[in-house]
Amino acid sequence: MKKLDRFYIDGKWTEPVGKGLFELINPATEEAYGHVTLGSAEDVERAVEAARRAFASFSQSKKEWRMELLSSIVDSLLHRQSDLMDAVTEEMGAPSNLKGQTGTAVQAFRQAIVTLREYSFEHMLGDNVVRREPIGVCGLISAWNWPLQLLCQKLASAFAAGCTVVAKPSEFTPLSAVVLAEALDAAGVPPGVFNLMNGDGPTVGEAISRHPGIDMVSFTGSTRAGVMVAQAAAGTVKRVCQELGGKSANIILPDADLAAAARFNVSRGFSNTGQSCHSPTRMLVSEGQADELIELIRKEAQSVKVGDPKNPETTIGPVVNRAQFERVQHFIELGIQEGANVVTGGPGRPEGIKKGFFIRPTVFSGVTRDMTVAQEEIFGPVLSVITYRDIDDAIEIANGTRYGLGGYLFSSNVENARRVAERMQAGRIFLNGAPSNNVAPMGGYKQSGNGREMGVFGLEEYLEVKAMLGFVSAAA
């Protein structure tokens, strides 16, 4: 049994003040594999003090030195990549062949190097000097679904900017964060620049958000939790950057390759067991093409292999915990109650699986825009097919939720697709299955959050703007 009973503060593994324990359950077996100690407000205080001390020198470091540090981190992560993947598989059931869980973490630091190399922290605006300076100590609160990517995306930008960090991963995925901290320590991250503690949202998350010594909070998680973070942070008027929920639409235009659209939507939508904020969970198809598309999706969905995440042939593993399992089951039952048709899947575990938090990959047809399964983020392998009359109707349906994180389009005509994309209310629009990258900004409209991550936009979330007037003539 693993005992995660130390926090990484000020460059050392230290005993926490908090004594509460949280049992860690392997979602594939439903068996406990260890426990993690939950921190307290006092632990946050210690971490903030260490981060503030370190900020004085780290914020003044040359960007070339920080680029070398980021490069060292990349090397250290690559060295520990198998350990990191093993941790993610054990704690959240991600298939061991889902290398994106670790690869995206490495790529975040690689992109930060490129961004930093090309970035100027000072420029002229008329006769004024405009500087961008590190904002200060940053509280990073990340979710469990992509535990390494989400945390490393924030860390890479914060380090590139010259900020120090107090980080809290989800209590459901602390193991990968501990291995990450070991890798950062081995890479030579100075004491106090990175501080890691485990804990829950109501205690540690709340303390980080409220703390006057933290200058900015970056949060990834549910919209409900994001509101609580923003409310807690409001008293100290700190910056809050949030990536929250999503209910992304994939509009299949009449001229699209339907087979390619079906293949992509099942692959992307069910990846990571559907536990992705950007997952294309609503597939919009013209009324005349619905039957053909539904049959293509049925075949694709039935080829998905659910099972042991350590089996290299497994496509998707379990959802993260019992609460999530019951939540997804509830939504599947609700879809049936509200009149949606089950194309494939449905309630219960997949055939032949008796334990573990495994979900039958489910596709609904006959879904109307107002059904619960068309409006709420389910966070599981559940896809809704919705028909539209014309393009205006498709755009109205796509924009008709409180979310606006991602959007997808399939079309053989790029110009037509672009006109549709410009009317979609979402932070990222993907055409014909275009891959994600760390250059393009990531973030949402409406209740999907505020601020952006990745690339230049992600870096600037961690920077303050200072205008210096009259300094040009004085220097001359």
Contact indicator for 151, 122 with CB cutoff of 8 Å: no
Q: Please indicate whether residue 277 is annotated as part of the active site.
A: yes
For residue 385, how many C-alpha atoms fall within 13 Å in the half-sphere facing its CB? 28
Catalytic residue from among 90, 163, 277, 377 = 277
Q: According to DSSP H, which parts of 8-146 are helical? A: 41-58, 63-79, 81-92, 100-118
From 62, 94, 106, 427, select the one nearest 273 (Cα to Cα): 94
CA dist 400 and 251 (Å) reads 13
Catalytic residue from among 90, 243, 300, 377 = 243
CA dihedral 95, 98, 100, 106 (to 10 degrees): 80
Q: Please indicate whether residue 422 is annotated as part of the active site.
A: no
Residues contacting residue 219 through CB under 8 Å, at least 6 positions apart: 141, 142, 209, 225, 226, 229, 240, 241, 242, 243
CA dist 411 and 261 (Å) reads 9
Q: Where are the beta strands (DSSP E) in 265-329?
A: 282-286
| Residue 255 structure tokens | 């001229």
| Residue 123 structure tokens | 């420029």
By CB atoms closer than 10 A (0-12, 13-18, 19+), residue 37 is: buried
Residues contacting residue 417 through CB under 8 Å, at least 6 positions apart: 253, 409, 411, 431
Contact indicator for 382, 55 with CB cutoff of 8 Å: no
159 φψ region: left (φ > 0), alpha (ψ -120 to 50), beta (else):
alpha
From 283, 279, 250, select the one nearest 448 (Cα to Cα): 279
71-108 as b/e: b if 16+ CB within 10 A: ebbbebbeebbeebbbbbbbbbbbbbbbebbbbbbbbb
From 132, 128, 133, select the one nearest 469 (Cα to Cα): 128
Active site residues: 243, 277
